[in-house]
Amino acid sequence: MRGAIARPASALGAALALLAALLQQSCFSNNRHQGEKLYSQHCAGCHGEQGQGLGRLIPPLAGADYLVDHRAELPCLLRYGQKEVIVVNGVAYHNVMPGEKGLSPAQLTNLLNFIETHWGNSASPRTIREVEQQLEACRGR
């Protein structure tokens, strides 16, 4: 009797473990490409499909020194936009960039991780916690 009870319980445990693994995989695979999707939806129209920018009107993101030099400010820049002149790779850009106030900290994290690891950029990955802390610094904007 004991063995009969143990088998269904262990089978149930194994089934639950398999289900958890499958769900975990799908969560990670969905989020793995979220940054790229967000970039296409919110950024590519101005910054270009390959982050190349638009001449002296819109700064490039590809190989941009600004991403490295202003890492801690980037979550706030994405959330609230940019109105001041910025210098990227030695070129001054004067245009306004709108903010994306509707993006969650997780979405901002995925978007920044995409931008900062593509087109010649090689920053270390961000965490949601890091982005949340950086957003606290600019909360009242």
Q: Residue 15 has what pLDDT?
A: 55
pTM of the model: 0.75
41 φ, ψ to 5°? -75, -40
Question: In the chain, count of helices (H) and strands (E)?
Answer: 7, 2
Q: Mind listing the pLDDT tens digit for each residue in 37-85?
A: 999 999 999 999 999 999 999 999 999 999 999 999 999 999 999 999 9
Q: Residue 138 has what pLDDT?
A: 87
Q: Mind listing the pLDDT tens digit for each residue in 14-42?
A: 555 555 544 443 333 346 689 999 999 99
Q: Mind listing the pLDDT tens digit for each residue in 109-128?
A: 999 999 999 999 999 999 99
Q: Residue 11 has what pLDDT?
A: 62
Q: Residue 25 has what pLDDT?
A: 37
Superfamily of domain 34-136: Cytochrome c-like domain (1.10.760.10)
Q: Residue 51 has what pLDDT?
A: 95
> What ranges do the domains of the chain cover?
1-32, 34-136
Judge contact between 56 and 64, C-beta under 8 A: no
Cα 76 versus chain centre, distance: 13
**CB contact burial 115-141 (16+ within 10 A = b; e otherwise):** bbebbebeeeebeeebbeebbeeeeee
